[in-house]
Structure 1
């Protein structure tokens, strides 16, 4: 399926958020997926992931997740300087501001005549956490979370008691979570805590642990696992086709 791209500056409670929109070129209506990036924002691997999803018949939005903290258009490099800046941003922006960003994108999606109104969330690394966090919003129909960080540890800034795991009992939509067993950012104990909490909540969730490192989806660097990445793309597409096309 051929796709197109345009750039949209979306107004949020905390400023303008540049957002890339990828969608099929025809005039049909498609469900949307908000794709949350890593701390580095929209790098070329993130762009390629968004294009893969869009090519399967989705409108894919890629927001600048730290738009308040950087000039518009900022993309951090996959090096120590970029990692340090991205992590600093991660521990500066409160989850409540991510919530208002998500709502602004939902409002934008509802106003577009090329969207069906069904919206899913997907992300990698902190983006996986933000996809999980987006599922707290009842307008999100499904969430696919790849190696989400900081859910188990409650290390992202937020109001007391408003961390993502504590609020997970309010999630109404199906969720898929994928973790790498060799991921140092989410320990076995951390994964067990997330699984136990979602089970106690009776959340509708699917769980995958694979033999992979953190960022195994990123097609740059020595942690990339192409075979597993293809499996995860197939899983995510099938997941969203099931839950966003009903």
Structure 2
């Protein structure tokens, strides 16, 4: 499908947030995917990923995940300065604020005539964690989490016992988790910890480990794996066509 996109501004519990909406450029309503970015916010690779998903028949909304900590429209570079700023933002924003952002996004898309009202979550890196976290919201019907960081290590700020590892027991929708075996951010020990925990609590999940490094979906840089990225888009399309039907 040919797509269109626009920026929107949403009121959240922690201030106004900008998001970019990608959707099929045809009449009708489509299921929605909240696509959570890396720490760098809405970079060109993130926008291209969102546009691919929109072309597959979804409304895709990409929020500025650290809107409270940056001027509206901020995009960080894939360099040391951008990485340092993004990581500082990651450690400064509590998960509870991400939760309220997700609720604001859901309320927005469910009020739009181009959305069916069915909403899923997808993300990469910290965005994979935020997609997993979004699955705690009962309005989320499925989450596709690509190399989600900080779940096993519980390093994101939050109230006691409100971390995503502990709260996983409260997720009722289906979740897909994809990890690169060569990803130093989620080492084998961390993956084993999550796998065993999710088994023990009865999480409805699919688990996939691939021969890839961190950020293998990002179509800039030496870690990009184009064939594997295409496979993930296909898996995500099938997953959301089923869970958001």
Normalized against structure 2, the TM-score is what?
A: 0.99
Residues 76-87 of structure 1 correspond to what in structure 2 (within 5 A)?
A: 76-87=76-87
**Take 1:103 and 1:216, find their aligned partners in 2: how far apart are those partners?**
29
The number of residue pairs the alignment matches comes to: 245
Query: Could you tell me how far 1:26 is from its partner in structure 2?
Result: 1.2
**What does residue 144 of structure 2 align with?**
144
1:8 and 2:34 are equivalent in the alignment: no
**Take 2:53 and 2:3, find their aligned partners in 1: how far apart are those partners?**
10
**Take 1:24 and 1:214, find their aligned partners in 2: how far apart are those partners?**
30
Query: Could you tell me how far 1:100 is from its partner in structure 2?
Result: 0.1
Query: Could you tell me how far 1:28 is from its partner in structure 2?
Result: 0.6
Query: 2:165 is paired with a residue of what secondary structure?
Result: coil
Unaligned stretches of 5+ in structure 1? Answer: none
Query: Could you tell me how far 1:239 is from its partner in structure 2?
Result: 0.4
**Take 2:59 and 2:84, find their aligned partners in 1: how far apart are those partners?**
32
What CA deviation, in whole Å up to 9, does each residue of 1:161-190 have, x standing for no partner?
Answer: 000010000100000000000000001010
**What does residue 197 of structure 1 align with?**
197
**Take 1:50 and 1:140, find their aligned partners in 2: how far apart are those partners?**
18
Query: Could you tell me how far 1:110 is from its partner in structure 2?
Result: 1.3
**What does residue 173 of structure 2 align with?**
173
Normalized against structure 1, the TM-score is what?
A: 0.99
1:69 and 2:69 are equivalent in the alignment: yes
Query: 1:206 is paired with a residue of what secondary structure?
Result: strand
**What does residue 38 of structure 1 align with?**
38
Unaligned stretches of 5+ in structure 2? Answer: none
**Aligned-residue CA RMSD in angstroms?**
0.5
**Take 2:20 and 2:210, find their aligned partners in 1: how far apart are those partners?**
30
**What does residue 216 of structure 2 align with?**
216
What CA deviation, in whole Å up to 9, does each residue of 1:91-140 have, x standing for no partner?
Answer: 00000000000000001011111111100000000000000000000100
Query: Could you tell me how far 1:203 is from its partner in structure 2?
Result: 1.0
